[in-house]
Amino acid sequence: MKALIVGAKGQLGRGLQASAPAGTVLHCVGSDELDITNGDAVRALVQAEKPDLLINAAAYTAVDRAEQEEDLALAVNGTAVGTLADAARDVGARFIHVSTDFVFDGTSGVPYAPDAPTNPISAYGRTKLAGEQLAGPDALIVRTAWVYAPMGGNFVRTMLRVMGERPEVRVVADQIGTPTYAPALAAALWSLAAAGASGIHHYTDSGAASWYDFAVAVQEEGLAAGLLSQAVPVVPIATTDYPTPARRPHYSVLDKTSTFAAIGGPAPHWRHHLRVMMSEIKTQG
């Protein structure tokens, strides 16, 4: 199988490269090599490579900045997705696109099923929903949430840094979701591709947490791994105490039942993968 990975230098893109099935021929491009908002460049690359599988791991993810740059976010998260999907269709390639829990408004009291009504409350969420719609009915769309990895900018890396610099850390406690380890998400995408899945699926690690819960766990695991030298108070705060330009869903746990059935079992609990990440960081020095 020949696979073309777009957005290959991000957290998910790196995971996709590391977990590609044996025998897969990979062609990987980052944003410095392909501007996915350039339709001519996208079509030329896909025509030249003629992959069997095109995976879009690229996205505009600056949630707050998107409130002022919605046109740019839409170009990347929406219009470009349609271009990639059309280019894949033209060469007979399957198309996989990664979306987000931000397509929901967060008012549910139960995990969101793949067919649950969408109602994004931020510019970022609106642009990601546009991308889902432009991907087409034959695409595989996988919604995920709270993605982190040993490399790159993410909540875990930020918490480890500020816990080593500040006398206390204040973290929002009334937004509930599920952390997702990027390498595990990448492996799930390959498994869904092998299963011939299409349509909308959800994938995160198992379990649920608030950002406060997540931060407490980061400190506990960071101390255990020797990545932090001492504990600092982690103070729970309300969303209203930490105003941001973009509204976040208060509850965005995703129902993964159909996905776990398709890939042969549930994902490990998020706390397990957090521990795995700490070990990776320690190994990397």
> What is the residue whose two structure tokens read 């909308």?
200
- Kindly tell me the sign of the dihedral angle through the C-alpha atoms of 64, 65, 71, 73: negative
> What is residue 145's DSSP assignment?
-
Q: Of the residues 124, 148, 181, 251, which is catalytic?
A: 124
Helix (H, G, I), strand (E, B) or coil at 143: strand
Neighbours of 110 (CB within 10 A): 9
Work out the angle between the directed axes of helices 155-163 and 211-224 (0-180°, nearest 10): 60
DSSP letters spanning 179-214: -EEHHHHHHHHHHHHHTT--EEEE---BS-EEHHHH
> What is residue 34's DSSP assignment?
-
Q: Is 203 a catalytic residue?
A: no
Sequence-distant (6+) residues with CB within 8 A of 162 are 169
Q: H or E stretch including 91?
A: none
DSSP letters spanning 210-279: EHHHHHHHHHHHHHHTTS-SS---EEEE-GGGS--SS---SB-PBP-HHHHHHHTSPPPBHHHHHHHHHH
Mind telling me the catalytic residues? 124
